[in-house]
Amino acid sequence: MTDTLANHYRSIIQELGEDPDREGLVDTPVRAAKAMQFLTRGYTQSLEEIINGAVFTSDTDEMVLVKDIELYSMCEHHLLPFIGKCHIAYMPSGKVLGLSKFARIVDMFARRMQIQENLTRQIADAVQQVTGAAGVAVVIEARHLCMMMRGVEKQNSSMTSSVMLGAFRDKSSTRQEFLTLVNNR
C-alpha cells in the first residue's frame, strides 16, 4: 500500500507545479505515504484488540472521569488535522476499564478521517459497549486547521462537542457534576 500511496503523492506534487525529482522532494512521496498510514491507523484496529481483556469487576458505582486525553485527528472534508483533548466519564455498573484503554479508544477512533461530532459519538458508544456503564459522557475540545489555515483563517476558534448517554443524559445533576469537574482547572 505504501508504494501506491507514494505514487499518488508524487502525482500530487507534480500537479501542484513542483518537481518531485528535486533534492528536497525525492523522498517526500514515500514519507507522506507512511505519515498518512500512521495518521489513519485507526482503520486497522478493533475495539476488542485495543481493550485486550482489560475490563475488571468492581463494586464502584460513582463517576469515573479521565480528563485531557490528547487527540489528533483528520478532518474528512479537507484532510487537515484537528487537535484537541477529550474528557470521558462513566458510571460503572459492575465493570471498570483499565485506565490506559480510554486513551487507546480515543486514539483508535481519532486516527480515522471524520468529523469531530462523529468522533465524540464513537468514543461514547465504545465505552458504553465495553463497560455496560449506567452512563457515559464525552466532551471533545479541538482546534481545526481547516478553519485556521484556509477559508476563514480564524486562529483562536475552537469547537466543543459532547455526547451524554444513560445517567448523564437522564439526570441533570450527574451531567452537571461531570461538566463542573471537566471545567475545574
Residues taking part in catalysis: 75-78, 116, 144, 146
Burial category of 181 from C-beta neighbours within 10 Å (exposed 0-12, middle 13-18, buried 19 and up): middle
> Which three cell numbers mark 92?
460503572
Residues 6+ apart with CB under 8 A from 50: 101, 104, 105, 108
Write the single-letter amino acid at 38. Answer: F
